[in-house]
Every structure is written in structure tokens, then in C-alpha cells.
Structure 1
Amino acid sequence: MHIPHEIRLNKERNTLILKYEHGEHHLPAEYLRVYSPSAEVRGHGVGQEVLQTGKRFVTITDLEMTGNYALKISFSDGHDSGLYDWNYLHNLGANHAALWQNYLDQLAAAGSNREFDESAPKNQSGGGCGGGSCGCKH
């Protein structure tokens, strides 16, 4: 397991910095948001992933430790579900370039972009798949 020995946000709150014994990862808030491990983003099975758009200017509003195994990250767009465990965060850092390019390719294929989309419906529930908005049972 790859556990960071230091976790901090930059002053703009748009980059999470994870320091490890053998280096560090700088993970942009937008990147963390579009690769959220939540059911809202990943879906409840293969093929149910939801492409996240308009997240370019999202920031991190809160970080919470969850036990000794994960971070709960809250974002300025209200999203706050999904736990980023240490291995998932390390994987996001180690594979940042390839994963980011994959995301950009998906956006292009969908004819979408990273900019804020005024026409997008606002998430009134504060994030997550709470309230049954994703169709799952809670």
C-alpha cells in the first residue's frame, strides 16, 4: 500500500499534493473530480460510467481522513461522495498523464469540453448518488 506521509492543498485549493517516501504527486482538483471513485461518476457497473464535463474550475473545499485508508474530498460543485483510498490516489498520481489524456479523448469523442456548462442541471442534493437520483436504492 502506498501511504503518503504528507497531504496538503495548495493555497488556491486546486491541487492536492501527496508526498511519499520516494517522491510526490500533484493532483489537480479537476482531475480528482472527473476520476472520482463515487457511484455518481463510476456508475454501479461496467458501462455505467458518467463522463464528467464542465469541471475545469472546480476546487477542493474540504479534505477528511476516513480511517487510516482513505480521503473524502469535497469539491466546490457540491460533489462529496466516493472515498479515495491510498492505492487509488497513488494510481491516479502514477498514471496521471495517460489517464488525463484518456479523459480529454473521451470529452472530444462526446463533443464536450472542460468549461463550465451553464445549461447543465445543478446538483441540488449536495453530491453523491444520495436521494436516489442515480436510480440506486439507499
Structure 2
Amino acid sequence: MAGLDKNTPLPTEIKLHQASHILEVAFNDGSIFQLPYEFLRVYSPSAEVRGHGHGQETLQVGKQGVTITGIEPVGSYAVQPTFSDGHDSGIYSWDYLYEIGKNQQMLWERYLQRLADAGASRTPL
């Protein structure tokens, strides 16, 4: 795992909002991102989700309503959430959280399009 980019803003606060299923991350550049648990789950940086190379991603389906049941720090560079579906292998570095926070709208639209193209659903079976 590469170290942090020296230009990456660092989080000043991380809050789990269990009622609204939002992970709120505030960074030291003033950015605040509200990341839905489902969004974090479908964009997990784990090999299980992302594969081992471009084009090997596994489309995550049925993740609507997923929750975060726990979250642990990983050194001083990341957090590792445990999701209610048992997924716990994604390590979310500060630069990854910042990147997906900045691009949240575009990434979410891309995910919804991939679901539609696959004839799949966000709704759990």
C-alpha cells in the first residue's frame, strides 16, 4: 500500500451517523463529505470489489440499506469499516476517501448506470 500523497488533506473529524447511514468526513482543507454507507460499500477499495486490475471490478448489487457496524483506524492513514453484510476487507485511505468524496456524484451516477446495464438492483434479494 503506497503511503499518503503529501498533498492529500487529512481528516479532522470522522462521524458515523447511524440513523441516516452517512459517514461524514471533514478534512483540514475545509472540505466536508457526507458519504452514504451504500456508496462506501459499493466503492470499497478491497480486491474483492475492485479486482486485481482495470476491468476486473465486481459489480456490487443489493447493497441498499447496508450499514456500518464498526470502524477501526488503520495506522494514521486509513480506516477499515465493517459492513452489516459482513464485508470488512476494504481499507479506506485518507486520499481514497477524499477522492471519492470529491467525485461522489459522478461515481454514484456511474454505479447506477452499471446496475441498469446489468439489469441488476440496489434492493437486497
Give the TM-score normalised by structure 1: 0.82
d(CA) in 1 for partners of 2:59 and 2:35? 19
Q: Report the counterpart of residue 71 of structure 2 in structure 1.
A: 63
Identity of aligned residues (%): 51
What whole-Å deviation, never above 9, does each CA across 1:10-43 have from its counterpart, x for those lacking one?
1326110001231310000000000000010001
1:20 corresponding residue in structure 2: 27
The unaligned stretches of length 5 or more in structure 2 are 1-7
Query: What residue in structure 2 maps to residue 108 of structure 1?
Result: 116
Unpaired segments of 5 or more residues in structure 1? 118-138
SS of alignment partner, residue 11 of structure 2 = coil
Partners of 1:109 and 1:90 in 2: how far apart? 28
Deviation at 1:115, TM superposition (A): 0.1
Could you tell me how far apart the structure 1 residues matched to 2:90 and 2:63 are? 17
| Alpha-carbon spacing, 1:66–1:78, altered in 2? closer, same or farther (3 Å) | same
> How far apart, in 2, do the equivalents of 1:54 and 1:32 lie?
14
Number of aligned positions between the proteins: 117
Tell whether the 8 Å contact from 1:13 to 1:60 is kept in structure 2 after alignment: no
Indicate yes or no: 2:46 matched with 1:34.
no
Q: CA RMSD in A?
A: 1.0
Bigger radius of gyration, 1 or 2? 1
